[in-house]
Structures are given as C-alpha cells and as structure tokens.
Chain A
Amino acid sequence: MTDPTIDQPITRKPDFSATHLRKRYRAEARFKFYGVAAIFAALAMLAILLGSIISTGSSAFTQTEIALDIKLDAAKIDPDGTRDPESLARANYRTIVRDAMRAQFPEVSGRRDLRKLYKLVSTGSDFTLRQIVEADPALIGTTQTIWFKSSADLDQLNKGAIPRDVPEGDRRVNDAQITWFDALSDDGRTRRSFNTTFFTSGDSREPEQAGVWGAVVGTMLTLFVTLVLSFPIGVMSAVYLEEFAPKNRWTDLIEVNINNLAAVPSIVFGLLGLAVFLNFFGLPRSAPLVGGLVLALMTLPTVIIAGRAALQSVPPSIREAALGVGASPLQTVSHHVLPLAMPGILTGTIIGMARALGETAPLLMIGMVAFIVDIPRGFTDAATVLPVQVFLWADAPERAFVERTSAAIMVLLAFLILMNLAAVLLRRKFERRW
C-alpha cells in the first residue's frame, strides 16, 4: 500500500546557470573591492596626517640666522687681562651684541626704534656670544663675523608664516624691521641653516632656543624604567599562570582582573602613582623614576596577556618531548617553551611600550607635565617626555611654536619607528617555525 500523497524529498539542485554564476563572481569581486577600498581609505588618512605634519613641521628644522661683525673689545670683556673664566662669564655680552647692531645700522636712533632693532636677533644671543668667547678666549681683541639666531618673529617672516602684505599693525614685525632685515639679506648677512638647537637643547620660552633633547632624554629614562620593571615581572607572571599555576577559582579571579586592568583608563594609574609613589613612598615629583613606575603598571597587563598568548601558541608536543627525555619542568620552560614564545612576548612588550610612549594623562598627576629647561641627568631629576612636549608647545601662543609642535611630533614618530624596528629585528633573531 502506498500513499500517493507523500511528498518526494525536495532535492536542491545546484544552480549552474550562467546568470547565477556571474552574480556569485560579482559578489566576490565586490567583497575584494571593499577590502581594497578600506585599505586605501586608511592609507589616505595616514597620508593626510603625515602630509600635514611634515608640511607644517619641516620648516622647524631650519633656522634663520643673522651675521654681525662683533668687536670683541678686551676692555669690555676682560678688563684685567687675566682670561679668568669667572670674569669672562661676567662680562656684559648683551651690550656688545647691541653695539654691533647699532654699528650695522648707524642711522637708527631713539629708544623705541633701537628696541625694535635689538629684537632682530634672539634674546639668547648674549649667551651664544659668551659661549664662543669662553670656548676660545684668544678671540678677545679681534673683530669676528658671528652668526646669531634671528628672533622667532623674523624667522617666521623669512619662512613666510608671517605675511608681509597685511597692515603693519596686524603683524608681529613692523615695517622698519622688515626693511632692516631685507637690507641684511641684500648684504648676504642672513641665511637659513640647520637648526641644531632643536635637537640639542631643552625647552625654552623663546621658540628659536627651544629643543626636544630634554624630552627625548626624559622619554628614554622613563621608558627604560618601564621596560626594566614590566618585562621581567610580566614574563614571570605569564609563565607562572600559563605553565605552573593550578586552574582554580583563584587563578581565574587573577586572570579576570588582569584582563580588566588592561582596559582601565590611563589617568587612573596616574592617580594611583600620585597616592602610592609620591604621597606614601615620598618619591620626588616630575621624576622619570616615578613616571616609569606608573607606566610600568599600565603596561604590565598588556605584557602578561601577550605573554600568555605566546606561551599558549607553543605546541604541547614540545613540552611533552622535553619532559619525555627527562627535562625538569623548569628546564622545559626555560630551555624550550620560553625561547619559542619569545617573539610573541616581545611583540606584546613593544605594543605596551608604544602605548606608554604616547601617554600624557597619567604623567599629569605626577608632575611630569612641566616646563623643564635643564636636560635630566638621572632617574630622579625633573624631566618631561615627548608627548608632553608636544602638548605644551601646542598650547603656546607664539606663532613659531606651531611648526615646532609638528616637528616634535615627527621626532616622536621617529622614536616610535626606531622602537618598532628594534622589535622586528629581535623577532627575526628569535623566530622559530615548526
């Protein structure tokens, strides 16, 4: 007896028709296109970012200079003729520079005009001259042509950042100063040379004397402390949790906490640093030591998580083989598992360090967002870091700090690229395939 009403099982026949096939190929092509478009969009953003930074910042690497004929009168610099460093340091170099400017433009008179004239060169010119004389006292008594930095306003005028075609009252340099500057230019007494000061000196309120070296040294000191603390502690935690710890409620709790800590906003670590390191342990404010400690706390969860992931990716067969030939668990880990996991651990550490390199918020609380002129000489000297320097310059009213802000960002990016390069090289060295 058969039931004629029973349905035949529906068999779906693959649709081999040309239209359907074309549709499928088109969908695939579209999907690929979206991917390529996403990459190009990202690249375009990067290009715009880098382009705007480089186009505004690159002019900061040169500095306008003005040549003056300086009469190094022995009677003014060293009246006793002793060449004693003390008395050389005390001489009034400012008047010597100003006399030279007056000699260059004898027609200028009147207090107001003279003040404008003196403003052609940087206020740091007397220190420049002092350094030259101190380095070579034999120059005293001669007349030398010395290049001085121009003031930041004239530097901006020379670079075109201050327009000449606006009414006199609307710009920082007046018509007389422009005339003097042009006269100097026609005389071959101006030039644009490489701005070494930017790479060798600390912060300054005068843009033409400001540099990033103080911040670079501060960054190196801070990151050194961060690395020395977070790497060994992070790796040891990861190894213990992954290789030795029993799986129970306590280790679960620790794991959850570490994952949570990785997502905590960085300012919280700054507050912790303020409360623990400064107020409780009494460590000095603004010190790279404290900055490094705070950033190490911030970096630790990242290092631990990356370290654990790297250890997990080592195949169990390696462990079993090591144990099988009689290695102790300690030997298994230190001779086989850890070296194989090292590339992954290093990547995680570098990601953590790169994040630490860009932080300003936690450093605000411990006083590293500060104006510091002297280059730090140790872990407890007051110091600041590169992102803080960028932040401070971005906030300064002087026009010339705009280009220096972008230039400092370029230095920061270069620092980051160097760090990543080191990581890639280390990875290459340790990389194993199985």
Chain B
Amino acid sequence: MKIKTLTLAAAITVGLVGAAEARDQIRVVGSSTVFPFSTAVAEQFGKSTRFSTPVVESTGTGGGMKLFCSGVGEDHPDVTNASRRMKKSEFEACTTNGIDITEVKVGFDGIVIANAKRGPDLNLSLEQIFLALATEIPQGGKLVANPNKMWSDIDPSLPAQKIEVLGPPPTSGTRDAFVEIAMEGGCKTLAGAADLGLKKKACHAVREDGVYIEAGENDNLIVQKLEANPAAYGIFGFSFLDQNADKLKGATVDGTVPAFEEIAAGNYPVSRSLFFYVKQQHVGVIPGIQEFVTEFTSEDAWGPDGYLIDKGLIPLPDTDRAAMAKQAQGLQPLSM
C-alpha cells in the first residue's frame, strides 16, 4: 500500500516537473476567421521542416490579443491571428509588457449576404442593408423603431418578401466586421441619419425584433438553414459561399457580386483585412518562428496559386504582397 502511494506521488511529481521543460512548439492563438489559414500553414510547415507542427488555438481576435500581450516567455503565445488591425489599447498593453511586434497583413476576407439558389436574387446597397437591419432608422425627421417588415418596404425594386436574416451573434468577429463595414457604411450615406445622432457606434445596433436571427457562430449551420428555407438570407464568410456555390448565391452589394476577383480587387464593399502578429522576443528562442513566418508569406502559400487560396483566402495585390513578405521576413517592428 505504502509503495503504491509513493509511486503515485512520484508519478505526479514527474508529471509536474516534465511540464517545466522548454517548449519546442510554436503556439498560435487568435481569430477564428484566420484559423483555417493559420492551421493550413502550420500543417504544411510541420510536414516540410524539421520543426514540430505549431499548435493553433481559435480564441477569437480579442482573446488572442489578450493572451499575446500578457508577456514574454514560453508560457505566452508566439503569434496571434486577427481579423482586424491591432487596436491602440492592445498595442500599448503589449508595449507595457515589453513586447515588440511585427505585423503581417495576409489577405482579405469578404462577408457575404447569401440565400438558397431557388430564392429570389437580391440587389442591395449598403444603405438598404442598414435600413433592413438597424434597430432604429430615421423617418420623417426623427428616429423610429425599424418598421420595415418586407424587403419591398425599403425599396419597391426589392422582392416583396419578409425580411429574415440569419447571422452571427455579437461575440463573433464576423458580426463586428459586418456592423462596422456594412451597417456603419450604409448609415454614413443615409440622408439625415448623422443629424439624428446616428453615426459611428450608434449605427452598429442590429434589430432584435426577430427579423435578424442570431444563428450561432457556426457558419455551416447557417448554410443548412438557408437550404431549408429559401426565404431567409444568411451573413457569413466568403469561404462558405465558395464551398457551397451549388446551393447558395450571394446578394449583390452596391452593384458588385461577391466573387473572388471582385473582393481581391477591392470592389466588393463588405470585406476586411486579415492579420497575424509575431512576438519578436520569441524569435530565436522558440525554434522555427522565423521559418513559420517565411512559410506563411511564401508565394506557395499566399500567392494567387497558393494553397491558402484553396482554403478561401483572398490574396493581397501582387505589389503589396511582395512588400509585405519582405517586411514580415525582416521582422520589421510595428509602431502606432
């Protein structure tokens, strides 16, 4: 009995001591939007080099920043992914903890409004998106609770069909980007909105009267629901439209179809940039970071024929990409 207890105690101690040994795996945290690309690079990197495959966590952009900026040392991640640029407050948090950062912009991601193939075609402007989904809209010189029930209430040219939109909940980065680009964009050009105090953050309020349905973070689920209900529209990332082009079609926004070429050329209005950030203090300490950055920014990965494009990444224009690769591989420090 005593011997058993001793062995158990020894086993636990060994386990705990073993934990303290140096880390030889790169650790990546951050945005779930960049996750598919980051993991693809990690896998390729693990297969083609002598380093072990990096561990990629999907923590969301904000959560990733918090972990990334919490300090230097092997308990803290080496790279964080982001579906938006690092905020000034986050940069300051990093600087306070003695972290120098290299910023790498990897490409674009489009956010689409799509419905089932057998549903009607939709031609929207950003203004109409705002009018369809905002909590309050200007009407007759004052703000009223959004009265629009049918698409045709907004504009007679739109289909006479109930507005029913499935989209991500407020915790999602896709939602953040959508309200920031589409809703705020529509609000900005809407006549009389700014005078009524509808600007910036005030435009971000999405209606909660059952017209906009929070369908969870899982975009595949939205795709399935759209298939079952041709009257509904869904909001999600371009890669899901790309993968399900046989079932869904994207709504035209401001006259531009959500297609690969249009997003890459910057014509499609609802698109955002994707980034990752590297902790310079860890380069040379955790093996392989420099090589990981080189792999991510190689033409084989993020070029127009690269494997990330197959995963749904929309590449930077050629000149930007070359400049960004040089900057990333030289680990140029970020300043704000």
Contacts and interface: CB of A to CB of B under 8 A. Distances in A.
Interface of A: 115, 123, 127, 162-163, 166, 169-172, 204-206, 228, 278, 281-287, 289, 364, 367, 369-374, 378-380, 382, 392, 394-399, 402
B75 A382 contact: no
B16 interface: yes
A172 B59 CA distance: 30
Contacts of B283: none
A205 B40 contact: yes
Contacts of A287: 19
B53 interface: yes
B55 A371 contact: yes
Contacts of B56: 370-371
Interface string B142-168: 000000000000000000000000000
Contacts of A364: 59
B305 interface: yes
Contact of B245 (A171, A283, A367, A373): A171
A353 to B, nearest CB: 19
Nearest to A368: B57
Interface string B47-68: 1000011011111000000000
Given A205-B311, A283-B16, A380-B15, A397 B43 contact: no
A364 B64 CA distance: 12
Contacts of A379: 15, 18
A278 B312 CA distance: 35
A284 B19 contact: yes
Contacts of B18: 378-380
A285 B246 contact: no
Interface stretch (B184-192, B203-211, B217-225, B284-292): B217-225
Interface in B194-252: 217-221, 237, 239-240, 242-246
B57 A370 contact: yes
Interface string B1-31: 0000000100000011011100101010100
Contacts of A371: 35, 38-39, 42, 55-58
A123 B237 CA distance: 24
Nearest to A279: B75
Contacts of B169: none
Enumerate the 7 nearest inter-chain pairs by beta-carbon distance, A residue then B residue, closest first.
A371-B56, A371-B39, A370-B57, A373-B53, A205-B40, A382-B55, A397-B239
A85 to B, nearest CB: 14
B32 interface: yes
Given A204-B43, A205-B39, A162 B246 contact: yes
A289 B55 contact: no
Interface of B: 8, 15-16, 18-20, 23, 25, 27, 29, 32, 35-36, 38-40, 42-43, 46-47, 52-53, 55-59, 75, 117, 217-221, 237, 239-240, 242-246, 305, 307, 311-312
Contacts of B36: 205, 396-397
A116 to B, nearest CB: 12
B155 to A, nearest CB: 28
A84 B109 CA distance: 45
B55 A372 contact: yes
A106 B266 CA distance: 39
Contacts of B27: 285
Nearest to B312: A397
B58 A373 contact: no
Given A127-B47, A373-B42, A380-B18, A397 B245 contact: no
Given A205-B43, A371-B56, A169 B245 contact: yes
A201 B57 CA distance: 19
A113 B29 CA distance: 37
Contacts of A171: 245-246
Contact of B55 (A278, A370, A402): A370
A141 B90 CA distance: 58
Q: Which of B32, B36, B43, B218 has the most CB of A within 10 A?
A: B43
B19 A399 contact: no
A166 B118 CA distance: 13
B23 A284 contact: yes
Nearest to A115: B305
A369 B219 contact: no
Nearest to B14: A379
B13 to A, nearest CB: 12
Nearest to B76: A285
A383 B35 CA distance: 17
Given A289-B19, A370-B55, A380-B18, A394 B46 contact: no
A399 B242 CA distance: 10
A170 B246 contact: yes
A123 B307 contact: yes
Given A370-B56, A402-B220, A395 B246 contact: no
B250 to A, nearest CB: 12
Contacts of A169: 245
Q: Which of B59, B219, B220 has the most CB of A within 10 A?
A: B220
B42 A166 contact: no
25 contacts: A115-B305, A166-B246, A169-B245, A172-B243, A205-B39, A281-B16, A283-B16, A367-B57, A369-B58, A370-B55, A370-B58, A371-B35, A371-B39, A371-B42, A372-B55, A373-B43, A379-B18, A392-B58, A394-B218, A395-B217, A397-B36, A397-B219, A397-B239, A397-B242, A397-B311
Contacts of A372: 53, 55
Contacts of A396: 36, 220
A112 to B, nearest CB: 9
A304 B36 CA distance: 42
A16 to B, nearest CB: 58
A397 B53 contact: no
Contacts of A166: 246
Contacts of B58: 369-371, 392
Contacts of A282: 19-20, 75
Given A367-B57, A369-B59, 5 more contacts: A205-B311, A370-B58, A371-B58, A372-B53, A394-B218
A378 B21 CA distance: 13
A282 B16 CA distance: 10
